[in-house]
Amino acid sequence: MFPLTATCLVRHFVRMAAVLALAGALAGPALAETTNPLVSPAWLQTRLGSPEVIVVDVRSAIDGGGADAYARGHIPGAVHSDYDKAGWRVTRNGIPFMLPTPSELEKLIGELGIDEDSHVVVTPAGVNALDFGAAARVYWTLKAAGLGKVSILDGGFAAWQADPANPIERGITRPAPKIFTAMINRDLIAESSEVEQVGRGVQATLIDARPAAFYLGKEKAPAARAYGHIPGAISLDNEKFYDAAANRLKSPAELAALAAAVPAGPVVTYCNTGHWAATDWFVLSEILGRKDVKLYYGSMVDWTANVSRPLVSARTKWDDLKKTLGIGL
């Protein structure tokens, strides 16, 4: 073996540096921290104060809370954005509960101190399935707006508060606004025009996330104009995914078993207003990793706004009479 000259040594180290740089570039994404759709209070506790982590408390009248409940106690540094009042769902063309426009999303999200580099932790009250649906709808909206790093606090504020070691802050945290540019992710969004094509050349499974009484046409939301479900839809009540005793989603194994009946291929979830359906979307897409899952955010309120769109209903004249007489409501 010949001894290495100074020139050879330099060339050797240059080649080694290039190889290591290439290896680092290839390994980088794999070594980066994965953004989990659900994070625990313990995970969040170790990241409090990080400028990248933005805790968004979405408590509202849905969970019996809102701005007053937030002011009485919240996760330190959390900003409040009332799910009902802040603008996460808007009225458009006379139809309520719709997805905001890109400019509306930019204002809503930016004013919370969120930009493209933020990791948002959506925090519900953690009291029931309806409350979780609010967090899931906000999560979906942030993702649909193009934000890459979003999580829901597993168990919500109730789970945080359950550990006496976790600090509680009182008062109001006012965020410093940032510039957020929405990059709408159409892969997550189903419009009524797309839903109309399901079964007419477009192959997808429609999932009705409402309780069975709504699916069958025995009940309807006040804002919907007719009873029943979209033709071809299968019923998968969002509450089946929720553990009411623990006030959080069921285990991944239990969720997978419940979703096993959903055929492979594209899926569109819907409900009355896109609230319950957000839970089904979250479970299928984010927890179970199903590809090509969309949320029809307008849902039955939007669908029934056009009287020419078809519906399937098991409603009878006796159901109408009972409603008129106020029986069984």
Q: What is the DSSP string of 107-141?
A: HHHHTTT--TT-EEEEE---SSHHHHHHHHHHHHH
d(CA 2, CA 192): 75
pTM over cut 0.85: yes
Evaluate whether 38-184 and 187-325 have a shared fold.
yes
Residues 211-216, mean pLDDT to the nearest whole number:
98
One-letter amino acid of 202 = V
Q: How confident is the model at residue 316 (pLDDT cuts 50, 70, 90)?
A: confident
Measure CA 41 to chain center. Answer: 18
Each residue's pLDDT tens digit, 56-91 = 999 999 999 999 999 999 999 999 999 999 999 999
Each residue's pLDDT tens digit, 36-64 = 999 999 999 999 999 999 999 999 999 99
**Per-residue confidence (pLDDT) for residue 191, from 0 to 100:** 97
Higher pLDDT, 264 or 320: 264
Residues 230-259, mean pLDDT to the nearest whole number:
98
**Per-domain residue ranges for the chain?**
38-184, 187-325
Contact 70, 59 (CB under 8 A): yes
State the CATH architecture for 38-184.
3-Layer(aba) Sandwich (3.40)
Each residue's pLDDT tens digit, 258-296 = 999 999 999 999 999 999 999 999 999 999 999 999 999
Which fold would CATH assign to domain 187-325? Answer: Oxidized Rhodanese; domain 1 (3.40.250)
Higher pLDDT, 83 or 4: 83
Residues 209-237, mean pLDDT to the nearest whole number:
97
The helix or strand, by DSSP H or E, that contains position 57, with its residue range, turns out to be: strand 53-57
- Report residue 185 as tokens: 């992710």
Helices (H), 145-269: 156-162, 192-196, 212-216, 252-258
- Put residue 28 in one of left, alpha, beta given phi > 0 → left and psi -120 to 50 → alpha: alpha
* Beta-sheet pairing, 90-92 with 95-98: antiparallel
